[in-house]
Amino acid sequence: MIGRLALSFLLGGTTALLAQAAPTASRAGDLQIGIGYTLASPGYFPQHFQGGAANADFDFRPHLGIEAEFHQVNSPSGNQSYERTYEIGARYFRTYGPLVPYVKGMIGRGIFNYPFGQANFAYTMYAAAAGADLKVRPWLNVRGEYEFQKWSGFTNGSIDPKLVTIGVAYHFGGTSSLR
């Protein structure tokens, strides 16, 4: 009796022994956070502004993600003029070995500070950009990007800044199936 019970237990339990484990490398997405140096043609002054940028990308599907971005570029003349933008939008990318080219479309808020603090106004702005990340290490990317912005409702005519940014980004999690 005990022998039959043990035999049925062993034979019945073999299906559980052959079960596959859930994949351990799956996750909700890919995250990278970066900083950069930005050179801008502000669209209002004939001079170039320079400053910094910060960005965070979250890729939740192969080739598709979202990006949040911040730029602060200042006039080199010391007249306290600057352009500051806060943007968020969609990002489409492809992977070719260590090279990850991308395009993105964003919407946000642009703040323009007039010379010597005469006025400070905020505008809705739209941006389109193209760039590429270069994987230097599994956790480190170097980025180059060109961005075109269009600010709507600018007080003194239209403004369409153009920005070039070069930077680095920390890629959380090393390699990924999404990239």
* Overall domain count for the chain: 1
Round to whole Å and give the CA distance between 170 and 152: 33
Tell me if 8 is assigned to some domain. no
Tell me if 74 is assigned to some domain. yes
Tell me if 24 is assigned to some domain. no
Round to whole Å and give the CA distance between 68 and 169: 13
Round to whole Å and give the CA distance between 91 and 104: 4
Tell me if 48 is assigned to some domain. yes
Tell me if 12 is assigned to some domain. no
Which domain does 162 fall in, by range? 29-172
Count Cα atoms within 13 angstroms, Cβ side, for 63: 2
| 92 φ, ψ (degrees, to nearest 5) | -115, 130
Digitized pLDDT (tens) for each residue of the chain, 179 residues in all: 555 544 454 455 544 444 555 555 566 789 999 999 999 998 877 889 999 999 999 999 999 999 999 999 999 988 899 999 999 999 999 999 999 999 999 999 999 998 887 888 999 999 999 999 999 999 999 999 999 999 998 777 778 999 999 999 999 975 555 55
CATH code for position 135: 2.40.160.20
